Amino acid sequence: MSHSTEIDSKHAWDGGQSPFRVSYGKMMMWFFLVSDALTFGGLLVSYGFIRHKYVDVWPKAENVFTHFPFIEQHLPLAYVGLMTFILIMSSVTMVLAVEAGHRNDRKKVTIWMFWTIVGGATFVLSQAWEWYHFIVGTETGALRNVWSEELHTYVQQTVYGANMTVNEYGVPQFANYFFFITGFHGFHVFSGVIINLVIFLNVLKGTYEKRGHYEMVEKVGLYWHFVDLVWVFVFTFFYLL
Amino acid sequence: MSEFHDDYPSYEHMAHHSEEEGKTKRKALWRVFWYMLIITIVELIIGSMAPAQGWSGTLGLKVLFIGLTVVKAGFIVMAFMHLGHEVTFMKYTILLPYVIFMSYAIFIILDEGVYSGDPQNRTKVDPILIQQQLDLKNGHGHHDAAATEAHGEHAEEAHH
């Protein structure tokens, strides 16, 4: 960081400069991300609590997520590994777009932003695919006691896939937390792709070239990295542990 | 800030750097990418080996996975999000409130989890499911319907 310009102490606190040496917009993006991180932190902490409570009936990820597109084989964790790779990769292309923005290199910003959007969209679609297989479930299903509204009692029934009240993998809470946390994260990725798209169009239009700096790219970049950051934790707590 | 037209340098422009500086920066960023890729691959290899080796659910494995995750998170926040290069004040303004609050939340679940982890203190779970998970642990098939049928006859009230 080229903090080469010394700031006159007379002006340091009179509104001319930020004591944090960052622009107002960037600092506010950071504050928003802290609050968003607290939301995800709260969700994951509560997930950990409930999982601990039902530890004996909590399914293992390697028995649940075993599908891979176009391959009819039992491949635990392979697909989510690929998804993680795609998201990390799109984080790298994003940071390269930010770096190109610091050199006012519009062509490179365009290219890297484009790949970031492609990576993000691929991730969202992968997650939809993952959800689809999670909801549909296996061919064998699993036996459960399911509440019957007509008989007003529990009846034994084979359950396939997952919904909010019952699933074939484990306790209902497992599917509930899976839907809620990966859904909340997936929505963040989705809105990130939309925001990236808006900024991408502005880059194409030359808005930031006229402005003389690409800080908007940096700000959406912060949001995008945050989405990647959350996924790193979701990946660990849902798939690895 | 440019609309004020003052003499002060704007932070947006201060972030600019030259072509040579860019080269070293890009190199550093790709290095971080390789670190993260290697960590993820190691995690996946250990994760897929764990069931056969009997490591699943051990404390060591949990600590290892969470530790590697925190390392990856550090790379993202410090390198990709550039926080490592901001001024110290900025760094702590972002990190400290979060770390303090989350430490408290984690302490609370560790503390209360001891109580709630007792099966007597929770909503009753479908006995068929409990039996299935036991069978799975003892090496029977995943969806061994025959084994579970015998044990799941009396349907307890599973949910309220």
Mutate to test the interface with A, among B2, B17, B48, B76 (most CBs of A within 10 A): B76
Q: Is residue A231 part of a domain?
A: yes
Q: Report the sign of the C-alpha dihedral through residues A224, A229, A230, A236, in that order.
A: positive
Q: Are B44 and B72 in contact (CB under 8 A)?
A: no
Q: Is residue B142 part of a domain?
A: no
> What pLDDT digit, counting tens, does each position of A112-167 carry?
999 999 999 999 999 999 999 999 998 888 999 998 888 999 999 999 999 999 99
Residues contacting residue A189 through CB under 8 Å, at least 6 positions apart: A87, A120, A123, A124, A127, A227, A231
Residue of B nearest to A62 (CA): B48
A residues 26-45 closer than 8 Å to B (CB):
26-27, 30, 34, 37-38, 41-42, 45
Q: Is residue B49 part of a domain?
A: yes
pLDDT category at A62 given cuts 50, 70, 90 is confident
A residues 154-213 closer than 8 Å to B (CB):
154-156, 158, 165, 168, 170-172, 211-213
Question: What value does the mean pLDDT of chain B take?
Answer: 80
Asked whether the beta carbons of residue B66 and residue A236 sit closer than 8 angstroms, the reply is yes
Helices B59-75 and A215-234, axial angle in degrees (round to 10) = 180
Among left, alpha and beta (phi > 0; psi -120 to 50; other), residue A58 is beta
Residue A57 maps to which CATH number? 1.20.120.80
pTM value? 0.86
Q: Is residue A219 part of a domain?
A: yes
Q: Is residue A169 part of a domain?
A: no
> Is residue B17 scored above 50 in pLDDT?
yes
- Nearest CB to B11 within list A21, A46, A55: A21
Q: What is the mean pLDDT of residues A206-215?
A: 90
Q: Calculate how close chain A gets to B124, using CA atoms only, in Å.
A: 10
Q: Is residue B151 part of a domain?
A: no
Separation between Cα atoms, residue A62 and residue B53, nearest integer Å: 14
ipTM score assigned to the predicted complex: 0.85
Query: Cα dist. B83→A64, A118, B76, B91, B103 in Å?
Result: 37, 26, 9, 6, 21
Q: Is residue A78 part of a domain?
A: yes
Separation between Cα atoms, residue B56 and residue B46, nearest integer Å: 10
Domain containing residue A201: 32-134+175-240
Q: Is residue B100 part of a domain?
A: no
- Please tell me the total count of domains within chain A: 1
C-alpha R_g of chain A = 23
pLDDT attached to residue B56:
78
Q: Is residue A155 part of a domain?
A: no
Q: What is the mean pLDDT of residues B25-33?
A: 93
Query: Cα dist. A167→A63, A136, A143 in Å?
Result: 13, 10, 10
Q: Are B64 and B46 in contact (CB under 8 A)?
A: yes
Domain containing residue B25: 1-85
Q: What is the mean pLDDT of residues A23-42?
A: 93
